[in-house]
């Protein structure tokens, strides 16, 4: 029944055909069970394991690699090759792909845990009326029409419509669903609001929320998927995971690279058609196969096989650094996404605030000797921890607050006129409440005021254990005053009273709405001397003025406290006793902002990141919090910047678009609104981070580009998020964004390093094929260079130190290519030199080396006709391992120098020396040791078709390799001056990586 909130109690009961005094019959239960289903959230359909595995190979570059591995394997069989060497290349490629697929499958398997966690918020049991009798049944057996009784501490087992109040009031904590900082009072009246949100449905009890005060009966109107929790589940199921900006750019690069590779491979094969019939190949078909092998080797050279592993490693290193900042990363790609975040949609309750009600202001009457003199006190401390101080209106801390009469009696009343509990949880290391948050705030206030008569009171309290300290002062007052009778809070009185006995004296303490308490007071307690004086119209007006200031301008939740000396021996209270009260004081409380949030807001604005506060609270309360945290500092007025969800939805389409660009606050939201906001911002090409801690935040956390949950939040929010803030600190997000930006910059550097290295390998093979000289490098040698000698330095580049101004730059655009324009030109130049130097090393050995044959260049170009003509040298020299060893070593060494070029994009090595990244220096040393190992250890040298080198050959290798540093220094110089910038502008329109719209909506 979707509109039960708008129907009367009798209409709802008639709809389900149930008698409120007897409940459903067994026949009706079975009938409703068939009609409406079970009260469980149905399990989502899981993706079959085989589909998850195949999904990991749905990538063009991966498909090309698989094809290259298969072709290499078939060619080995056709040529009759056997042993490890024949199948090494395809085996290594397939192992790499299998490892990457395994990581992908594990990540996707963990993604659906949020839906499982959602079930934890369903109640286990319920007190149900059936066949005229109450019984306790499993909550899963509830059906629509069941009459259920709920009381303090109960978890609501299904969505229910209130039908009968069994106490003065019923209050429910529904923060996990709506994000409201205070508990909500429920009633029986039907709701007439149009487009009612959860907060407007005050007669509905929502599944998974908790009763904090009172007792009532309700009729079940929705079970399982047809509850508020069910709608959250459906919303999460409808959310598809978006690829991160870096992933999209790498995918685009992969597609572009695949096309280029295919073109070059075909071109190399076509260029050599004339050589197919060369006698050295033994026929046209074998010649075609030979050059096809070269094309396959080219594909292997062009594809950076180690790139996925290096990207994953760099992100993993980033997560370790972020963990030290209290940001626990659950999804590796989200590390990089932080770097380009443009909007943070922050939940208010529990994220910007502590989600712990705290008394912040106290107002008492000091004296009336020279006219009414009212004193205000400030209270520090923003959590349930009994830690904080009382300050006078000049900001001076009170050393012994309990010595002041009004503060002493406020502490008494707060401790005694109270039904809540405060306790320390050693497992979580924090203080927890049981009951109404406003009452717990009063208990904490009593602890901060302390006890009278002890000069060493503050320090003595600090010596207690945390468990004893939680309610030490409260327990003291409860032992001094024995509770005799209680008048519970009711909506008409708007107050609560308790009768206590103390040393043969009966005292009634009362607390409630200020307008209700003050109107019943005839006397006032003075704070200067503890005297009691009659209240007059002037004093009453002054108190009303202070109340309006607290509640209006400062948007504090206010309670007034009073007492009354009762006749000796009275044992009961009646409503008639609640008159002729003595006013003690007024307290103002709020869900306080976290202390560090203001500075975090300033950092976000400096970094070009917009913050939108999103909350279920009412508009005035939220605006007050935004003023305190600095979210409105840049605004003259709030018109056009602060909206309720209903106001925003009513705007025409064009005005909604404008509002999204200016919005700083969205209030009275429910889960669907949060998800809608994220989608709307993403449609404007914003990269959205959403923070939250409640079940209500889960759909939006899952939909956002990066979902950030609080460490103290619900398990559902954590499971749906990409990152968890262990310290619940909004400021940690700013540190995480800085880390994300640094990681992206480093990722960009090693991607460029690997691309320029691979360009060098392609140039090497292509030039050798065009010149008609022997194969410069074997496929297995290319694999070694790609995986080991490229991979280690590329990973170490991830340790480059972040720029000092990383948080002063605006967020990068998601459409920004990883390598584009002038940069691509630079790396083409570097890549071309790498390839040409490698070929030069190969040719040098044949023509100039002392240990080589010193052939004329023409002989080298006609090597394939050697068996058919007379020569002064044996044809076997073309199978010598020396030339390919020199070429491979030149390739390795030149890439080590190129790795040093990537310490910075534009800064010279004279400014940022190699030792600024010792990990890179170590990786270069390790890479060279591994390379020397395969050169000089016989089994490995045989495996990789290499041999040992002489000192003279090493000298030539260094001569050929070092110029890559000089070339890049020149290119960096152009990048730093105006000519480079203008050149960059000319190239900017011709991105090496094709651009396309990031989202096809």
CA 923 – CA 654 distance, rounded (Å): 55
Contact 147, 128 (CB under 8 A): yes
- Which runs of E-coded beta strand occur in 553-697? 557-566, 581-590, 610-614, 642-644, 665-667, 688-692
Location of structure tokens 């506060």: 613
Tokens of 446: 């009593």
CA distance 833 to 831: 5
What's the token pair of residue 842?
């190969």
Give CA 200 to chain center in angstroms.
30
Q: Give ∠ CA 954-958-964 in degrees, rounded to 5.
A: 155
CA angle 352, 356, 362 (to 5 degrees): 105
Give dist(CA 272, CA 386) in Å, integer.
84
Burial class (CB in 10 A: 0-12, 13-18, 19+), 128: buried
On whether the CB atoms of residues 634 and 627 are closer than 8 A, the answer is no
User: How far is the C-alpha of 794 from the C-alpha of 896, rounded, in Å?
Assistant: 10
Cα–Cα distance for residue pair 469/449, rounded to 1 Å: 13
Active site residue 347: yes
**DSSP 8-state secondary structure symbol assigned to residue 593:** B
Bridge pairing between strands 495-501 and 482-487: antiparallel
Q: Which burial class, exposed, middle or buried, applies to 43 when counting CB atoms under 10 A from its CB (0-12, 13-18, 19+)?
A: exposed
Using alpha carbons, select from 621, 558, 627 the residue that is nearest to residue 588. Answer: 558
Among 347, 705, 790, 991, the active-site one is 347
Three-state secondary-structure class, residue 214: coil
Q: How far is CA 739 from CA 295, 321, 829, in A?
A: 41, 8, 31
Beta bridge partners of 430: 425
Tell me the pairing of strands 482-487 and 430-434. Answer: unpaired
User: CA separation (Å) from 614 to 594, 604, 690, 789?
Assistant: 16, 16, 9, 49
In Å, what is the CA distance from 656 to each residue of 149, 662, 756? 44, 10, 46
Residue 112 backbone phi and psi in degrees, to 5: -95, 10
User: Tokens representing 470?
Assistant: 């939680």
Query: Which positions ≥6 away from 569 have C-beta within 8 Å?
Result: 506
Strand locations in 478-623, DSSP E? 482-487, 495-501, 506-512, 521-525, 532-534, 557-566, 581-590, 610-614
Q: Measure the CA–CA gap between 223 and 243, rounded to whole angstroms.
A: 35
Q: How many CA atoms lie within 13 A of 654 on its CB side?
A: 0
Q: Tokens 């010596």 appear where?
A: 463
What is the set of active-site residues?
347
């Amino acid at each position: 029944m979707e509109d039960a909130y708008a129907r009367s109690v009798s209409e709802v009961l008639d709809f389900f055909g149930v008698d409120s005094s007897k409940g459903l019959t067994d026949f009706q239960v079975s009938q409703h069970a068939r009609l409406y289903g079970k009260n469980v959230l149905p399990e989502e359909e899981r993706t079959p394991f085989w589909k998850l595995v195949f999904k990991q190979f749905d990538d063009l570059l991966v498909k090309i690699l698989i094809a290259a591995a298969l072709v290499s394997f078939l060619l080995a069989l056709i040529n009759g090759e056997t042993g490890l060497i024949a199948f090494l290349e395809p085996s290594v490629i397939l192992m790499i792909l299998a490892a990457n697929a395994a990581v992908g499958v594990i990540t996707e398997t963990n993604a659906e845990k949020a839906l499982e966690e959602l079930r934890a918020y369903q109640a286990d049991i319920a007190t149900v009326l059936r066949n005229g009798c109450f019984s306790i049944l499993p909550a899963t057996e509830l059906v629509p029409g069941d009459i259920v009784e709920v009381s303090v501490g109960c978890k609501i087992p299904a969505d229910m419509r209130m039908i009968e109040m069994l106490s003065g009031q019923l209050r429910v904590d529904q923060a996990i669903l709506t994000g409201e900082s205070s508990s909500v009072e429920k009633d029986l009246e039907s709701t007439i609001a149009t487009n009612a949100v959860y907060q407007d449905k005050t007669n509905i009890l929502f599944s998974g929320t908790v009763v904090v005060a009172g007792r009532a009966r309700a009729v079940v109107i929705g079970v399982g998927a047809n509850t508020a929790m069910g709608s959250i589940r459906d919303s999460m199921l409808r959310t598809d995971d978006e690829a991160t900006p870096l992933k999209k750019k790498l995918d685009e690069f992969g597609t572009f690279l695949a096309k280029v590779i295919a073109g070059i491979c075909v071109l190399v094969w076509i260029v050599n058609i004339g050589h197919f019939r060369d006698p050295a190949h033994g026929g046209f078909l074998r010649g075609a196969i030979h050059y096809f092998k070269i094309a396959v080797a080219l594909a292997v050279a062009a594809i950076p096989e180690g790139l996925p592993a290096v990207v994953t490693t760099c992100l993993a290193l980033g997560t370790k650094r972020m963990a030290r900042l209290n940001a626990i990363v659950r999804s590796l790609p989200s590390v990089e996404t932080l770097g380009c975040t443009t909007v943070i949609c922050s939940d208010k309750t529990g994220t910007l605030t502590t989600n712990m009600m705290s008394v912040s202001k106290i107002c008492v009457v000091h004296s009336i000797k020279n006219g009414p003199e009212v004193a205000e006190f400030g209270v520090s401390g923003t959590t349930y921890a009994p830690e904080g101080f009382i300050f006078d209106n000049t900001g001076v801390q009170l050393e012994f607050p309990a010595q002041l009469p009004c503060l002493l009696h406020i502490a008494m009343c707060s401790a005694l006129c109270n039904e809540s509990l405060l306790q320390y949880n050693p497992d979580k290391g924090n203080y927890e409440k049981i009951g109404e948050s406003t009452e717990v705030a009063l208990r904490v206030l009593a602890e901060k005021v302390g006890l009278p008569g002890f000069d060493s009171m503050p320090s003595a309290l600090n010596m207690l254990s945390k468990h004893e300290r939680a309610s030490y002062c409260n327990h003291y007052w409860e032992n001094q005053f024995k509770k005799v009778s209680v008048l519970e809070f009711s909506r008409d009185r708007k107050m609560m009273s308790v009768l206590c006995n103390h040393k043969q004296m009966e005292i009634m303490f009362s607390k409630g709405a200020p307008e209700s308490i003050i109107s019943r007071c005839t006397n006032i307690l003075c704070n200067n001397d503890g005297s009691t004086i009659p209240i007059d119209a002037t004093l009453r007006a002054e108190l009303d003025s202070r109340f309006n200031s607290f509640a209006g301008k400062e948007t504090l939740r206010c309670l007034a406290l009073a007492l009354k000396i009762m006749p000796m021996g009275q044992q009961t209270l009646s409503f008639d006793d609640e008159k002729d009260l003595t006013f003690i004081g007024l307290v103002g409380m709020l869900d306080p902002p976290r202390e560090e949030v203001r500075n975090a807001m300033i950092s976000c604005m400096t970094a070009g990141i917009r913050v939108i506060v999103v909350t279920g609270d009412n508009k005035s309360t939220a605006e007050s919090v935004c003023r305190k945290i600095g979210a409105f500092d840049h605004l003259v007025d709030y018109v056009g910047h602060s909206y309720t969800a209903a106001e925003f939805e009513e705007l025409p389409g064009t005005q909604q678009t404008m509002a999204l660009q200016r919005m700083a606050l969205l209030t009275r939201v429910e889960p669907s609104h949060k998800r809608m906001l994220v989608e709307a911002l993403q449609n404007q090409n914003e990269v959205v981070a959403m923070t939250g801690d409640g079940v209500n935040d889960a759909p939006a956390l899952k939909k956002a580009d990066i979902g950030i949950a609080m460490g103290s939040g619900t398990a559902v929010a954590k499971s749906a998020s990409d990152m968890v803030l262990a310290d619940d600190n909004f400021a940690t997000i700013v540190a995480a964004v800085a880390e994300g930006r640094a990681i992206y910059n480093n990722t960009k550097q090693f991607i460029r390093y690997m691309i320029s290295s691979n360009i060098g390998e392609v140039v090497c093979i292509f030039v050798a094929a065009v010149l008609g000289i022997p194969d410069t490098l074997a496929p297995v040698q290319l694999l070694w260079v790609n995986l080991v000698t490229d991979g280690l330095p590329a990973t170490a580049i991830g340790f480059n130190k972040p720029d000092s101004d990383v948080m002063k730059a605006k967020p990068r655009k998601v459409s920004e290519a990883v390598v584009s324009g002038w940069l691509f030109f630079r790396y083409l130049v570097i890549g071309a030199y790498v390839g040409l130097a490698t070929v030069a090393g190969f040719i040098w050995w044949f023509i100039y080396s002392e240990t080589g044959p010193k052939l004329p260049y023409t002989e080298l170009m006609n090597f394939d006709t050697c068996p058919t003509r007379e020569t002064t040298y044996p044809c076997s020299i073309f199978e010598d391992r020396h030339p390919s060893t020199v070429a491979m070593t030149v390739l390795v060494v030149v890439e080590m120098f190129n790795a040093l070029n990537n310490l910075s994009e534009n800064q010279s090595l004279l400014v940022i020396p190699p030792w600024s990244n010792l990990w890179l220096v170590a990786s270069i040393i390790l890479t060279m040791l591994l390379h020397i190992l395969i050169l000089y250890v016989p089994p490995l040298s045989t495996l990789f078709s290499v041999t040992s080198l002489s000192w003279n050959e090493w000298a030539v290798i260094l001569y050929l390799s070092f110029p890559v540093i000089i070339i890049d220094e020149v290119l960096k110089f152009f990048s730093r001056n105006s000519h480079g910038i203008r050149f960059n502008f000319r190239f900017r329109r011709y991105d090496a990586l094709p651009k396309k719209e990031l989202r096809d909506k």
